[in-house]
Structure 1
Amino acid sequence: MDGSKGPSDGDAAEDAGDGNKDRTPGGQEAGAGASDAVLAAGSFRITASDGRAPWAAPGAKPKVVYHDPSIPRPQDVYLIRVNNCNSPFDHVWLERSEDGTRPIHPLEKLPVEQFIDRNVPESEPVRPADVDDTPFTLVEDLKGLTELVNKLKDVNEFAVDLEHNQYRSFQGLTCLMQISTRTEDFIIDTLKLRIYIGSYLKELFKDPTKRKVMHGADRDIMWLQRDFRVYVCNLFDTGQASRVLQMERNSLEHLLHHFCGVTANKTYQNADWRSRPLSDEMIKYAREDTHYLLYIYDLMRLRLQRESTCENDLLLEVQKRSNDICLQLYEKELLTDKSYLHIYGLQEHELAAAQLAVVSVRNYSLHFWIAHDYSVFNKPGIVTYDVALLL
């Protein structure tokens, strides 16, 4: 989980670095040739006996860079075609309402009670092995993705998180997807496998019989839809559960410490997740975001059940909140004839009507250029600073 999740996403504003996530990206498609680059790469597996990734220099100190200008643009390396067109996002994989006016999320047809598990285990949940003692797979090719899909078909629940980059980006992109089962951790390189994620994973995420555990999933749900056309059913959001339980803090950092005795390393909270290859430290940080989530889910579910009353069903409340998050549908931010009014510094200049008209034309022209030049991946304010539009 990158540190950009705001308070509504589960990582409260108490965590430094929040506010990094952006909700303005649009759908993207990969161009021809991406598959060749993907198929040439191999999945690398680290077992419990080997704690390090092979590319990390022994004893090297981690260097965290928020934005590394030397990293090649992912849309160039992986032939990702960026769709900056000023048109609404089309949820093409969803059914439409009878009158055709809106897309229907698959969760709409399912009763909330279907997802509530009230079975009390005979024994207390077992804490998972530490990250370094758990098998790990970095999924970088179709063979690895297929193997992961087959493993997920055999489990009833799995934990999910995403790492995202939107710094100086017009739309942003998902860089990694972390998935943990009860016995293994996986990281999917969603830059290399971007065009395959949706077709391979959409049924698993939509399957109402499989529990998906996430923390502060508001933005992640949007990114799954935007980048991969993936829609989630049967979510348990531990961030919402922490609120219902009125815990002291709602961040994942706090839950890890409270339930697992793990002190999260927040050094990589705002790392540049476009970086390749991933360092040992980045991999460990990403794994910790999902590695303990199923165990935290077990403990929180038991506590929710024990503290519920006939008048106040806490499990039901968490499930309703989780469903509400899933039912959100991504909408692309569109340019309108009033968009120029939000240019930074505009109000300070107290421009006359004629001057405002010039700014409006310049702003629209800039957006038109970006929308028709698929090589551009920067925000208008980065291509040219907002104040430049006023000159």
Structure 2
Amino acid sequence: MDAAEFAPFQDKVTASLVQVTRTVNHLASEDLNFHRTSSAELTESIDEQSERILSLASAVLKAATGETDLPLPKLEDEDSIEDNWRGVVDVIDSLLEKADACLDEFTGVIKKLSPSQEDQAAAAKKPQKFPTIYDYGPSKIPKPQVLFDRKVDNSNNGPFKPLLRTKPHEITPLEQSLKTQQTEGKEAYPSPYDAEIRAAQYPKPVYEVSPPIDYLPFESTTATFVDTLDGVKEMLEELKAAKEIAIDLEHHDVHSYQGLVSLMQISTRNKDWVVDTLKPWREELQILNEVFADPKILKVLHGSTMDIIWLQRDLGLYVVGMFDTFHAASALGYPKRSLKYLLQKFVNFEADKRYQMADWRVRPLPSGMFDYARSDTHYLLFVYDNLRNELIGASNEDGNLIDYVCERSKNEALQRYELPVYDEKNGQGPGGWYDLLTRNAGMLSKEQFAVFRAVHQWRDEVARAEDEGWQCVFPKHMLFRLAQTMPLDMPTLLRTLSPMTPITKERAVSLLDAIKEAKIAGATGPEWRDIAPPPKTTFKPTATQLENTDFPVAERCEKSQFWGNVLDFNQPPPPPQYSLVASNEALRLSLPLPPMPATVSEAREQLGITDEPVPAPIEQPEFAPEPSAPAENKPFTVKEMGAPRKRKVTPVNQPEKDILTLDGSDDLEMDQESKKKLRKKMRKEKKAQKAEKAAQEATPFDYGAAESVLNSNPTQAPGRQSRPKKAFNPYAKALEAPSGVRKIKRDETGKSLTFRK
């Protein structure tokens, strides 16, 4: 994806994230727990969506941790999110780290080493029979730098001195070119071929339109693998006879602090070579400067920014008369500038990009890797022919695109390699902590910022000593985790860096000491915001405006003007005390009450009440309190808990006895004969009452002797016995509802003893 495709993709992703954020904030502002209780359907729908979101999040986490050493956080329910939140943060940090590396590759800061997601998916389906660079554990391949004639020096003492022993095609003598000079406030060696690169004149065919020369078929031709010094010399003789050559490199930087040029591919119109640059005599390849520094031979490269640096650092090679096809594609306004795009456009060839993540140190070189390396330069001269013709055709009086591309290519060739000096104080330079924190801004306290700097420096020192990449010590997300956690004991350190690399495990004690010292020193040290870059402003006042205008001076406030004292850990303020007067006044202002009279007399006058004699209060007789009776010696019972008591069984021979109660009289205990007599008497009395009532109802009503109903009591009906009116009960219907079964209070079993006070 190039810049033209990335912009709409970024806008689409940003719009989606904004919409998701708005939706989440809207849901968070609603009282979902309250709405759950209002509707069973809503509760079921919310639970269903929660399960769906959890399953989607689990699938994303599983995909993100598929090819990493990070453990997979298990999200089974809402509570498990809090329990596994630290693991989720680690996965997100890992994804952000990969995105950071992809952006660096996209912007050209580093040469692309990792494939796209589509390439990774295609590579996962195919059996990989070669080691990859993504093995951050101990190197499975013996380090070739151990056998180099010139031992690797990862120290940052002094500037880098060019490796040149001879200087073919020189304008300035070698002795003069190897003298230090002041560059950007520090001493450094200039490029030995600085004058030669600036003065180089490109051959005339570069400015002439000519039909592209067809490339030889890839399948019917073979390339030569050069792994001996004699083979290099034979190749050199053939290269001297060429007018244009194509160059490309394969680099490895995982198990090396500075990196290693592992292969160099060179092609002419008729032949391809793949040179092994990991031999102990690798610096003898300087003899290729007879061709590389010859301005009469055109050198075609694609994306040469890092290639120029690597050639100087490892092999002592410099390129004069270079043509970079990347800048040619940029000048023509192609939607993509990658070599893959150019090969598809002009050759209809697509290389197997899964070998981009191969470890190019492996020997012998597998056939697939060999063909992939060869393809980068086999078609490049044909691509150059097409680009040259298009550049000439697109040039006009306003500008010559060929000159534009040649000038840009010269600037690439003028680059100088500098040792990666570690700036402990400011964190500047390649691999410094300043750029890392700027691109990964976060809230770090003083102690955390000090620990971050100390751990970052410790990682750099270990990588230099072991000649390993930083990621082989521990990756970037582990660095931020250490700064946030600040472990002070070995178990916490091992748990924070899990899984821990063997290099770090051997030096865990020194890492723990560095964290402890940094945390103590950080209590009085600076914060990240004191060193962070100021926000960019577009307004730039002139000198006259600065003299005539009093601009406010920015000062650091003791507390945030936006948040106030929210971040301060103070005691909460006491609740406000409202007075009664204030409450009455607030009530009067809030309710439209009529004016109230000030005295009782005014109120009686407004209501029309006349003065009536007030009855004298009834004097109540004074009663002397009766003396309290002395407490009686009442018996009390003490029960002893025990097993359930057995139910008593009535003997069979004992006559049955009933207990009857008549009109509130005492209970009578009688046998069967007495009970029959009593029931017979009760039946006779009841029959007599019914007969008397029937006789009264049969007597006709005498209206003449009846009292008048005009002044009768309204509560008493005529001819009926006076009965009080039943009071209205508003809860009668509620009381008609069925009541629950009362709880039966059972006596606890056991023995009991009765005592008297």
TM-score if structure 1 supplies the norm length? Answer: 0.76
Alpha-carbon separation, structure 1, partners of 2:109 and 2:433:
28
Q: CA deviation at 1:348?
A: 5.1
Say whether residues 1:378 and 2:378 are aligned partners.
no
CA distance in 1, matches of 2:291, 2:382: 21
Q: Measured at CA, do residues 132 and 157 of structure 1 come closer, stay the same or move farther in structure 2, by a change above 3 Å?
A: same
Judging changes above 3 Å, is the alpha-carbon distance between structure 1 residues 379 and 388 closer, same or farther for their aligned structure 2 residues? farther
Q: What's 2:251 paired with? A: 164
1:327 matched to 2:417? The reply is no
1:142 to 203, 224, 229: 229
Q: Could you tell me how far 1:229 is from its partner in structure 2? A: 1.8
Q: Which amino acid aligns with 1:75?
A: Q
Per-residue Cα deviation, 1:139-181 (whole angstroms, up to 9, x for no partner)? 0111111111111122122100000111254211111000001
CA positional deviation for 1:98: 8.9
Give the 3-state SS of the residue equivalent to 1:115 in structure 2.
coil
Q: Is the 8 A contact 2:355 2:369 kept in 1?
A: yes
Structure 1 residues 155 and 367, CA gap change in structure 2 (3 angstroms): same
Trace 1:1-391 onto structure 2 (pairs within 5 A): 6-8=106-108, 16=116, 63-67=129-133, 69-76=139-146, 81-92=151-162, 93=164, 95-96=177-178, 102-105=188-191, 106-111=193-198, 114-115=201-202, 117-118=204-205, 124-167=211-254, 169-192=256-279, 195-336=282-423, 337-339=425-427, 341-342=433-434, 350-352=444-446, 360=453, 364=457, 367-368=460-461, 371=464, 373=465, 376-384=466-474, 386=479, 387-388=481-482, 390-391=486-487
SS of 2:398's partner is coil
Query: Computing the radius of gyration over CA atoms, which structure comes out larger, 1 or 2?
Result: 2
SS where residue 335 of structure 2 aligns?
coil
Question: Greater share of helix residues, 1 or 2?
Answer: 2
Q: What SS does structure 2 have at the residue aligned with 1:182?
A: coil
1:270–1:381: structure 2 CA closer, same or farther, 3 Å change rule? Answer: closer
Kindly indicate whether the alpha-carbon contact (under 8 Å) linking 1:126 and 1:295 is maintained by their aligned counterparts in 2.
yes
Output the amino acid matched with 1:192. Answer: K
1:111-159 Cα deviation digits (max 9, x unpaired): 5671153567786222111222223110011111111111112212210
Amino acid at match of 1:63: K
Alpha-carbon distance, 1:103 to partner: 3.5
Q: Secondary structure at the match of 2:357?
A: coil
Deviation for aligned residue 1:96: 4.8
- Aligned-pair CA distance for 1:108: 3.2
* Distance (Å, rounded) in 2 between the aligned partners of 1:184 and 1:75: 30
SS at match of 1:199: helix
Contact 1:135-1:183 within 8 A present in 2 as well: no
Hey, what's the Cα distance between the residues in 2 that align with 1:9 and 1:303? Answer: 28
Letter in 1 for 2:337: N
1:211-255: CA deviations, max 9, x gaps?
A: 110011111111111111211110001111111111231111111
Q: TM-score, normalised by structure 2?
A: 0.41
Supply the AA of the counterpart residue of 2:360.
Answer: W
Question: Deviation per CA, 1:168-225, whole angstroms, max 9, x where unpaired?
Answer: 5421111100000111100011112553344222332122121110011111111111
Q: Is the 8 A contact 2:460 2:470 kept in 1?
A: yes
Whether the 8 Å CA contact 1:11–1:252 is kept in 2: the answer is no
Which blocks of at least 5 consecutive residues in structure 1 are unaligned? Answer: 18-59
Deviation at 1:262, TM superposition (A): 1.4
Does the CA contact (< 8 Å) of 2:209 and 2:388 recur in 1? no
Counterpart CA distance in 2 for 1:179 and 1:197 is 17
Deviates more, 1:256-265 or 1:188-197: 188-197
Structure 2: give runs of 5+ residues left out of the alignment: 1-101, 118-125, 165-173, 488-757
**Are the aligned partners of 2:340 and 2:350 in contact in 1 as well (CA < 8 Å)?**
yes
Counterpart position of 1:35: none
1:324 is paired with a residue whose SS is: helix
Change in 2 beyond 3 A, CA 1:140/1:269: same
Change (3 A) 1:201 1:323: same
Amino acid at match of 1:223: W
Moved more, 72-81 or 176-185: 72-81
Distance 1:98 1:272 in 2: 37
| Counterparts of 1:9 and 1:245, CA distance in 2 | 22
Letter in 1 for 2:144: P
Q: Deviations over 1:330-367 (max 9, x none)?
A: 122211233374577997573435x6556655654554
Identity of aligned residues (%): 32
Task: Tell me the distance in 2 between the aligned counterparts of 1:288 and 1:199.
Answer: 24
Q: Measure the CA separation in 1 of the matches of 2:452 and 2:112.
A: 37
Matched residue count: 344
Paired residues of 1:9 and 1:239 also in contact (CA < 8 A): no
Q: Which residue of 2 aligns with 1:52?
A: none
Amino acid at match of 2:145: Q
1:303–1:186 CA distance, 2 compared to 1 (3 A): same
Q: CA deviation at 1:293?
A: 0.8
SS of 2:397's partner is coil
